Amino acid sequence: MQNKSRDVDLLLAELQDFRGGIADTSTLIYLERLELLSLVAQSFCLFIIPQVATEYGATPAGTLLLTAVPSGPADTVLCQAAQMLGQPVLSEDRQILRAARARHLPFYNTLMIILALCAQGDLALAAYEDIRRGLLVFARYGPQVIAVGDAVFQALRQSLTDCDS
């Protein structure tokens, strides 16, 4: 149990320091559906590769298009670009997240990005549960991913309560 608590504390610390990353099409779509893409692009540095811009159909306002990237499939180039720039991978795609893990790259999904907004004070903690509920309507997260998000939320709420005391 202590290791799980330690892991949650480490993840919360990462989210408090989160500055952005290389976004995949899936994450852009999720953020757009939640009407948070603009806020995330204002709060963090969101890079996208040309392949993602093509898949998404545009370069969303506030994102930074990387033009000096290799050609190839988006899934492959996304991790290559993240590694070249030393940036986390932002994706919902299990294959991309596995590739990021294999390259020892940090990676985050939309749930974690929302928690980062809360951790950094860019989104009210009170808004989290409604947004989480909306996300879980269409996100295909397994129970373990949801449990980690819930544990991070509880740790964040506790840390803010401790600060108020």
CATH number of the domain where residue 112 is located: 3.40.50
Whole-number percent of the chain with pLDDT over 90: 87
What is the predicted pLDDT for the residue at 1? 40
Give the structural domain span for 24: 2-164
What is the predicted pLDDT for the residue at 56? 97
pLDDT digits (tens, 9 = 90+) for 48-95: 999 999 999 999 999 999 998 888 889 899 999 999 999 999 999 999
Q: 66-86: buried (b, 16+ CB within 10 Å) or exposed (e) per residue?
A: beebeeeebbebbbbbbeeee
pTM here is 0.93
Residue 4 has pLDDT above 70, yes or no: no
Q: Kindly indicate the confidence band of residue 5, based on its pLDDT and cuts at 50, 70 and 90.
A: low
pLDDT digits (tens, 9 = 90+) for 131-159: 999 999 999 999 999 999 999 999 999 98
CB of 156 within 8 A of CB of 14?
Answer: no
Half-sphere exposure of 126 (CA within 13 A, CB side): 0
What is the predicted pLDDT for the residue at 164? 60
pLDDT digits (tens, 9 = 90+) for 28-59: 999 999 999 999 999 999 999 999 999 999 99
What is the predicted pLDDT for the residue at 159? 86
> And the tokens for 52?
């993602």
What's the number of domains the chain is made of? 1
Q: Kindly indicate the confidence band of residue 112, based on its pLDDT and cuts at 50, 70 and 90.
A: very high
